[in-house]
Amino acid sequence: MNTTYNSAVTDLAAYGSPITDLFEQPQTAEEWQPYILGEEQVRRFERDGFISGIRVLTEAQVDVLNTELTKMQSISAEEKQLFYHYESNESENPDQVLFHAIGGWRVTPGFHDLIWSPAFRMAAYQLLGSSFRMFHDQLFCKPAKHGGVVAWHQDYSYWTFTKPMHHITCWIGLDDATKENGCLYYVPGSHKWGLLPITGLAGDMDAVRAVLDAGQLEAFDNKVANELPRGYASFHHPLMMHGSYANVSDRPRRAVVLNAMDARTAGNTANYERLDALHSFPEMPQDQILDSRFFPLLFEGDKELPAAVGGVPKADPLKLYA
């Protein structure tokens, strides 16, 4: 066991802007152009609750993040304290492994700077339809052969300690994700089902079925496998029904997830029923805007863009998040 404490552990949340040059920031309208989602993609997100196939990382950037990820999977107790949540194996199945950690952006420079990735920031701005800030990141890693499931769930069911619901999730593959190694699945249109109760994240894949009606159960017949090459992303709505099956392949399936929220999102912790799940989270006082250094502002409306960009297609928040 490693009992050496490293007193030089730095909380990268102290830095509210990029600290490396891993992600070059566009300056001109021309440089922003490749990152702007088309009208059709935004309308599809409104209709289905997700869009996929968006390149966020180059091969070289994936390599940097995977090197840092390997380090984060065996770190000191002191570094572990920077995470909001850290489980080397969250799987409830004794034969499977699911590494799940929240807060890696505070620990290594690449994951810190990832939240300023222009592809992520532009798409999140368009799909939230408003200025937004970081909520938190997550790592979901399934080793080869015995990688565990992530049970069907809606993200906002885990986030009701913040309000109102105006959040987005960006899932980014750090390995090619296929059905065999446990890619994510979506149920198109399920973001219109309203908020369902928590039924567990790493146990019975199908536990959520107990709270669904006949029409919702039938919608699972149309589930979509979100197969993606590494470095590519999907974005989903906070009420989107999604989950991923076991990894039975001989390749790992690693992913980093970025969760962002409208810039005016406030704490809703006063009557939260699962307070113990929040003990390592930053303070989120009831009704106060979450604007501490742990929730950096990532995009300030059209001000972020050179005037020459003009408008960009945006989702209608009143329609999607009300």
Angle between helix 39-48 and helix 118-128 axes, rounded to 10 deg: 60
Exposed/middle/buried for 160, CB within 10 Å: 0-12, 13-18, 19+?
Answer: middle
255 binds, among ligand AKG, Fe ion, none (CB under 5 to 8 A by kind): ligand AKG
208 binds, among Fe ion, ligand AKG, none (CB under 5 to 8 A by kind): none
Q: Does 155 bind Fe ion (CB under 5 A)?
A: yes
Q: Does 304 bind Fe ion (CB under 5 A)?
A: no
Nearer to ligand AKG, 65 or 184 (CB): 184
- Please tell me whether residue 35 adopts helix, strand or coil conformation: helix
Give CA–CA dist 260/238, Å, rounded: 10
120 binds, among Fe ion, ligand AKG, none (CB under 5 to 8 A by kind): none
Contact by Cβ (8 Å): 201, 90: yes
Shortest separation between residue 184's beta carbon and ligand AKG, angstroms: 5
Give CA–CA dist 228/212, Å, rounded: 28
Shortest separation between residue 137's beta carbon and Fe ion, angstroms: 12
Number of C-beta neighbours around residue 34 at 10 A = 11
Shortest separation between residue 203's beta carbon and ligand AKG, angstroms: 14
Cis peptide before 143 (omega within 30 of 0): no
Give CA–CA dist 302/308, Å, rounded: 11
212 binds, among Fe ion, ligand AKG, none (CB under 5 to 8 A by kind): none
Shortest separation between residue 169's beta carbon and ligand AKG, angstroms: 5
Shortest separation between residue 253's beta carbon and ligand AKG, angstroms: 8
Shortest separation between residue 140's beta carbon and ligand AKG, angstroms: 3
298 binds, among Fe ion, ligand AKG, none (CB under 5 to 8 A by kind): none
Nearer to ligand AKG, 190 or 244 (CB): 244
- In the chain, DSSP finds a helix count (H) and a strand count (E) of 8, 14
Give CA–CA dist 50/236, Å, rounded: 4
Shortest separation between residue 214's beta carbon and ligand AKG, angstroms: 25
Give CA–CA dist 69/88, Å, rounded: 12
Pairing of strands 224-225, 253-262: unpaired
Instruction: Name the one range near Fe ion by CB under 5 A: 103-111, 127-135, 154-162, 299-307.
Output: 154-162
Nearer to Fe ion, 239 or 263 (CB): 239
Instruction: Indicate the residue whose CB is closest to Fe ion.
Output: 155
Cross-strand pairs, 52 = 234
Nearer to ligand AKG, 82 or 177 (CB): 177
Interacting residues toward ligand AKG by CB under 6 A: 140, 150, 155, 169, 171, 184, 242, 244, 255, 257
